Structure 1
Amino acid sequence: MNGYTSRTYVRSCSSLSEDQPKDNSVSDMLVDSFGRLHTYLRISLTERCNLRCQYCMPEDGVELTPRPQLLTKAEILRVANLFVSGGVNKIRLTGGEPTVRKDIEDICLELSNLKGLRTLSMTTNGIALARKLPKLKECGLTSVNISLDTLIPAKFELLTRRRGHEKVMDSINAAIDLGFNPVKVNCVVMRGFNDDEICDFVELTREKPINIRFIEFMPFDGNVWNVKKLVPYTEMMDTVVKRFTSLKRLQDHPTDTAKNFTIDGHQGRVSFITSMTEHFCAGCNRLRLLADGNFKVCLFGPSEVSLRDPLRNGADDRELREIIGAAVKKKKASHAGMFDIAKTANRPMIHIGG
């Protein structure tokens, strides 16, 4: 890191330290060598999905992990309990598509009962969500992110290689009706595909408590990443502010991945996730448990360590905490940058979890 970046990094980590609880509820297991406290765990429940999005999965599909090698419900709950007892207070369920897992309601119910967990979230493509959401809310789900990259049904089918646009819109409205506030809608912006719809997405925030989150296109194995597809945050901003002149920046938390904005007269908000052009590594508080039991400390880093194998070989909680803590301590200060990321071997997003 250069001098400026280093100073900025130290200030950011100092801000994070101020947010750490002052009691003994936080385990050293969750603090890396840069002082970042990790209180947010993303758990991928499955590699299966009912869509085939082009930026997530290669056209010819991917080889899925055999079912016996995936974590069972009991194994997920045991590992989650280790993290929550160590200080994790937010869990997000991902996939694949988490709603295709048959025991999703039971998993939500048991996770929501973990002492110390404040937030139980889910990221979903929304295809099956509308009919499952009432039960999921009863089981403790507190927030939801729904992926939608186009408001045009024909383009939706082109991108996802499946039909279902209407079902996703129904899920967004169902979430609003059930009182989820905000309902976060994730939109990956790709030049030449949906960058002409940015302002149409912003319009969704006018009358409804929707948080539109524009995400820069990111490179993963199999998605034919090309820097020319990337629409930088600054360009997206220029597009929005020309039409919505009252766009105003909010004060973000040091761990936020998004730059958040309000617009006068709009119920919802607009956010930008700038993973490629303005990374937020200094404030990163996220860890990932993959469906096959591998533990990943950085979305863009290839390093993984298995928690499934020691778990099935009889490791006790102390041994598992040591494995987790050692991996966290090896987390790098920041990812390599978008051009190096594109050349680094990493798994497809459907394996990693959204």
Structure 2
Amino acid sequence: MTNTSTHSKPILQDSFGRDHAYLRISLIERCNLRCTYCMPADGIKLSPKSHLMTSDEIYEIAKTFVKNGVTKIRLTGGEPLIRKDIPVILEKLATLPVTLSITSNAVIIDKHIVNLKKHKVNKINISLDSLDRARFKEITLRDQFEKVYKNILLLVKEKFEVKVNVVLMKGFNDDEIIDFINLTKDLPISIRFIEFMPFDGNKWDIKKMVSYKEIMERVSASFNNKDIIRLQDASNDTTKNYKIAGYQGAFGIISSVTNPFCDSCNRLRLTANGKLKNCLFSASESDLLTTLRKGQSIEPVIKKAVEAKFKVRGGMDTLKKLQEPKLHNKNRSMITIGG
């Protein structure tokens, strides 16, 4: 039920009239990989365990969001599946009237297939930035490519809806764009190319970014234009979706740097230590967990945070502002935000 009255607007509606029905919850700041664009080279200062949300607190906060209009929850990390109480968290959240999904690096996902099915977590996003074993190790600092690839095939076999997220970086993996698209020939998966985004400690440089335009130029050079089919995007979709004629799967581009999709943004993020971020690019956070632990209502804190949301990318409404280190270095590193 949405929290409305004749005198007030819903607490999940911002000052630009955007309704937020999608909550991404980070369960943990730790990961079993160390991807360089996500985790700063020097590591991060982890929150003490006592500062992280318990499974009960995750459920209570999620329940408040669902009461106010959230219909979709995605679990992220770090790597959410390394949290020991993940079965309990799934069991609790599965009682809410929402679509549950998860983002994982797939290293240990084979151990969780039964539990994911049991709680109707059918949509799985997998992070994979290279199809080359040596490159995979270079970016993740772990030799786990074979395991990840095998688990992607297992998820497909087990009829999960699989999306593979690829962060493109110029001179590193941009020569694999067509290799990734060719995976969709025989696999019913969606490949999603993501423009490299700036976060604290990831040495972001716009010169490393492969833009939407550049990706499509590569696609046009490799396939006949009449075979490149533009698909209908879902409402509030962050992705421009395509498929190659005759291929089982599809591919898409998330261009949050060159073509931000802020006008239709319906997403909010909850960090593992209970802070609400109203935008991936925003440096400001609102502490829900401390309020909850004091026994107070978190609804006023949520309302204030949602109302404060900028129209575009945490206020960085131009590429020039996005290239100002002092603006995006105030933000967390990606691993502590949650994908």
- TM tier relative to shorter chain: over 0.9
Q: For residue 138 of structure 1, what is the aligned residue in structure 2?
A: 118
Tell me what 1:89 maps to: 71
Whether 1:25 aligns to 2:2 is yes
Tell me if the contact between 1:41 and 1:90 (Cα under 8 Å) persists in the aligned partners.
Answer: yes
Q: Secondary structure at the match of 2:192?
A: strand
* Aligned: 1:230 with 2:209: yes
**Cα RMSD (Å) of the superposition?**
1.2
- In the TM superposition, what whole-angstrom CA distance separates every residue of 1:249-297 from its partner, at most 9, and x where no partner exists? 1122341000001211111001000000000000100000100000000
Q: Choose from 180, 183, 197 the match for 1:204.
A: 183
The superposition leaves residues 51-73 of structure 1 with CA deviations (integer Å, 9 ceiling, x where unpaired) of 11000011121111111000010
Map 1:172-211 → 2, pairs under 5 A: 172-181=152-161, 183-211=162-190
Output the TM-score relative to the length of structure 2: 0.93
State TM-score, norm by structure 1. Answer: 0.90
8 A contact 1:130–1:170 mirrored in 2 = no
User: Which residue of 1, 4, 28 corresponds with 1:46?
Assistant: 28
SS in 1 for 2:284: coil
Q: Distance in 1 between matches of 2:206 and 2:275?
A: 29
2-structure distance, mates of 1:25, 1:220 = 33
Q: How many residues align?
A: 325
- In the TM superposition, residue 248 of structure 1 has moved relative to its aligned partner by 1.3
Whole-Å separation in 1 of the counterparts to 2:73 and 2:320: 30
Residue 19 of structure 1 is matched in structure 2 by: none
Q: Deviations over 1:25-55 (max 9, x none)?
A: 3650111111101000000000010011000
2:129 to 124, 146, 149: 149
Deviations 1:227-259 (A, max 9, x none): 111011110011012212211111223410000
Quote the residue 1:248 is aligned against.
Answer: 229
- In structure 1, C-alpha distance between the alignment counterparts of 2:50 and 2:28, rounded to whole Å: 12
Cross-structure match for 2:271: 290
2:308 pairs with 330, 340, 344, which one?
330
> Deviations for 1:306-344, whole angstroms, at most 9, x for unmatched residues?
0011111111xxx31111011101111111144423421
After TM superposition, where is structure 1 displaced by more than 3 Å over at least 4 residues in a row?
A: 24-27
Distance (whole Å) between structure 1 residues aligned to residue 177 and residue 243 of structure 2: 15
1:135 match: secondary structure? helix
Structure 2 unaligned segments of length 5 or more: list them: 5-9
Q: How does 1:274-289 map to 2 (within 5 A)?
A: 274-289=255-270
- Contact map agreement 1:109 1:140 (CA 8 A) in 2: no
